Amino acid sequence: MQARSSYLVGIDLGTTNSALAYVDTQEPAAANDAPLICVFEVPQLVVEGEVRALPALPSFLYFVDPHELAHDNLSLPWDARPNPVAGVLAREQGALVPGRQVSSAKSWLSLASVDRTAKILPWGASNVEQACSPVEASARYLAHLRDAWNYRFAAGREDADELRFERQEIVLTVPASFDEEARELTVEAARDAGIENLTLLEEPLAAFYAWIVAHRHELKRQLKDNQLVLICDVGGGTSDFSLIRVRIIEREVRFERTATGEHLLLGGDNVDLALVRRLEAKLASAHLTLRQRNALQRQCCAAKERLLSDLTIDRVPITLLGSGRAVIGNALATELTREEVVETLVEGFLPVTAPDDLPARDRRIALRELGLPYASEPAITKHLAQFLAQAATAMHSDQGEGERAEQRVAEQIAGQTSQPAAHLIRPDAILFNGGFFAPDITRERVVEAVAHWFREKGKRWRPKVIVNEHPESAVAVGAAYYAQVRLGEGMRISGGSARGYYIGVQAGACSRRRMKCKPSA
């Protein structure tokens, strides 16, 4: 089928990081018939005076003080005086000046209890001129990607108009658990960034599409008929669980999304906050300011990643500058150890529990930070058990599944004696996605928990783990591949809820209520 744009673009608009991948429709396919999908390296300010292209754009905004702008060292190639700034500098500098940093806009976008079109970010900010809404923050991330794209692909070209970001077919991912309002607000942000041809795709499906395109010639060796693939997608701020059923009909592999979990504000940010509280206990004699707590959270995040990725390091020093005039003299020093990080993860977020140990709805663990109502139960494994229980109930009662679904549940119930998990549906394979699962220990703990729930007496069983080689860009890559699937090339997952949004281009005449949408599947 003839492509409708020069490029097919996939965007992962993440809570912590955003990424973009694309297919050049004029380039021939690779030798193995797989589309050539490239990850776009995003130019951004990393420190004052230095612009660098990186594979991800941290989802942070930093409102620049007029004094900082006067120095002319915050220029981007396409904007001499950006305000606010997005990316690495916004993440690092904003941690020192929390009143001017916007973070977790995606989590706010899903929060129905606030006006998501009001200038409420940074949370608690008193200066309305240096504030924005969750919708506006999302639009600014997309605008940065747009401007960076146009600078690289369209600037100075005779055919610049055809190559501009706004003219491409774009697939933008959202959490599977986003409700309709959150999805429409995401579309509004895309419209504000000038996007004309937009399709929304659920993030877990995008991650699975990335796996499909990488293994398209060996799918029948990887998975068997009627197996269930669990997608565990945990990022910086949200957790998503989905189940996909494998069908092999007349030697053709097909996939069907069969279950999606509830929206959970729970992810890597919560681990960082737990580590902050742990270090605050070490510094019991000190009263930390908001700026110091934000700086401590950023240092905890960096130290956590370093300790879990480099086993030659067992502790990382943490230093906080003082406040007021005695910035250096009142500096605070402590350290974060690998043992503390692992203990926090294992005991607080990934405990191996009994299959009937589900989240307690009335439990409160002080996980509410910066106004966001994070899940009161931090144990991700308990939320996973609840999802598998709900999926078992739904599959057993869904008449549309017919006898095969009932038979599968019955087969799983039979023979489970030492650790009965009759109320859970058993996944045969797990695909992990999201930055939370970058360390080996996080993936292994989930596998251990699932194996524990379905352990039979005298037998050892573990779910198969299937892997995206580059998880940090998998969602964007899968979204770009799905853009090609929509053109009739590639393998489609049925049962999803992707939608195409066709956004009016008349200036000033378009509102969210005027957007036309129809299912894209």
What would the pLDDT profile of 216-240 be if each residue is shown by its tens digit?
Answer: 989 999 999 999 999 999 999 899 9
What CATH number is attached to the domain comprising 253? 3.30.420.40
Residue 73 within a domain? no
Q: Are residues 280 and 249 in the same domain?
A: no
> Regarding predicted confidence, which is higher, 452 or 368?
452
pLDDT reported for residue 416: 38
pLDDT reported for residue 518: 41
Distance separating alpha carbons of residues 330 and 178, to the nearest angstrom = 44
Nearest CA among 101, 121, 97 for reference residue 109: 121
Distance separating alpha carbons of residues 410 and 74, to the nearest angstrom = 62
Distance separating alpha carbons of residues 275 and 47, to the nearest angstrom = 26
| pLDDT tier for residue 519 given thresholds of 50, 70 and 90 | very low
Q: Are residues 398 and 461 in the same domain?
A: yes
pLDDT reported for residue 458: 77
pLDDT tens digits, 476-493? 999 999 999 999 888 999
Q: List Cβ neighbours of 72 (8 Å cut-off, separation of 6 or more).
A: 80
Provide the token pair at 189.
């942000």
Return mean pLDDT, the chain.
86
Q: Are residues 245 and 327 in the same domain?
A: no
Residue 410 within a domain? yes
pLDDT reported for residue 402: 42
Domain that holds residue 317: 268-349
Residue 125 within a domain? no
Q: Are residues 260 and 382 in the same domain?
A: yes
Res 56 pLDDT > 70: yes
Q: Which residue, 424, 454, 469, sits at the end of a domain?
A: 469
Q: At what angle do helices 180-192 and 134-153 cross, to 10 degrees?
A: 40
Provide the token pair at 85.
């700034």
Q: How many domains would you assign to the chain?
A: 2
pLDDT tens digits, 401-449? 444 444 544 454 444 334 446 789 999 999 999 999 999 999 999 999 9
Res 326 pLDDT > 90: no
For the chain, the C-alpha Rg in angstroms (whole number) is 23
Q: At what angle do helices 380-397 and 440-453 cross, to 10 degrees?
A: 50
| pLDDT tier for residue 187 given thresholds of 50, 70 and 90 | very high
What percentage of the chain has pLDDT greater than the value 90? 67
| pLDDT tier for residue 241 given thresholds of 50, 70 and 90 | very high
Q: Which residue, 302, 332, 349, sits at the end of a domain?
A: 349
Q: Are residues 245 and 302 in the same domain?
A: no
Res 515 pLDDT > 50: no
Q: Are residues 460 and 388 in the same domain?
A: yes
Q: Are residues 312 and 437 in the same domain?
A: no
Q: List Cβ neighbours of 486 (8 Å cut-off, separation of 6 or more).
A: 169, 171, 199, 500, 520
Residue 58 has, within 13 A of its CA and on its CB side, a CA count of 22
Q: Which residue, 328, 349, 370, sits at the end of a domain?
A: 349
Residue 146 within a domain? no
Q: Are residues 395 and 318 in the same domain?
A: no
Q: Are residues 275 and 313 in the same domain?
A: yes
pLDDT reported for residue 363: 45
Using CA atoms of 426, 431, 436, 440 in order, give the dihedral in degrees to the nearest 10.
Answer: 90
- Amino acid making up residue 280: E
pLDDT tens digits, 133-177? 999 999 999 999 999 999 999 998 988 999 999 999 999 999 988
pLDDT tens digits, 31-40? 556 679 999 9
Res 511 pLDDT > 90: no
Res 495 pLDDT > 70: yes
Provide the token pair at 398.
């869904």
For residues 72-100, give the mean pLDDT: 92
pLDDT reported for residue 212: 96
Q: Are residues 282 and 320 in the same domain?
A: yes
pLDDT reported for residue 504: 41
Residue 502 within a domain? no
Sign of CA dihedral 300, 306, 311, 315: negative
**DSSP H or E run through 50:** strand 50-54
Using CA atoms of 414, 418, 424, 427 in order, give the dihedral in degrees to the nearest 10.
Answer: -80
pLDDT reported for residue 360: 77
Q: Are residues 446 and 428 in the same domain?
A: yes
Residue 213 within a domain? no
pLDDT reported for residue 39: 98
Q: Report H helices in 330-426.
A: 338-343, 380-397, 402-413
pLDDT reported for residue 290: 80
Residue 212 within a domain? no
Q: Are residues 257 and 388 in the same domain?
A: yes
Distances (CA, A) of 195 to 114, 165, 187, 301, 368: 26, 8, 9, 33, 34
Residue 152 within a domain? no
pLDDT reported for residue 29: 67
Nearest CA among 214, 206, 187, 124 for reference residue 479: 206
What CATH number is attached to the domain comprising 295? 3.90.640
